Amino acid sequence: MPYYLFKICSSDALGLVKNLELKDEFQKFKDAKRKARAFRAESEPNSVMKYQVIFAESQLSAEEQLLEKRAKPVLMDYER
């Protein structure tokens, strides 16, 4: 299974609507990580864009995983 590198832009302040752009596809995680770090270094520090590497069976599967809304984990008192 390949690694996909996506550029993610949130068009609203809450981050509910995400625009995904596939930047590249890699067979090795090391190569994907290196490219993601290069993109992050080139972007502005306060930018709304972020770059994420994801491991998935297909591009469609990767996009579905990135777009799904996840609940924040509940922290117990002893974990704070």
Considering the entire predicted model, what is its pTM? 0.79
18 near 67, Cβ under 8 Å?
yes
Residues 2-38 have pLDDT tens digits of 999 999 987 666 556 789 999 999 999 999 999 999 9
Neighbours of 30 (CB within 10 A): 9
22 near 6, Cβ under 8 Å?
yes
Q: What is the mean pLDDT of residues 63-75?
A: 84
What pLDDT, on the 0 to 100 scale, is given for residue 13? 60
Beta bridge partners of 19: 9
Write down the domain spans for the chain. Answer: 3-63
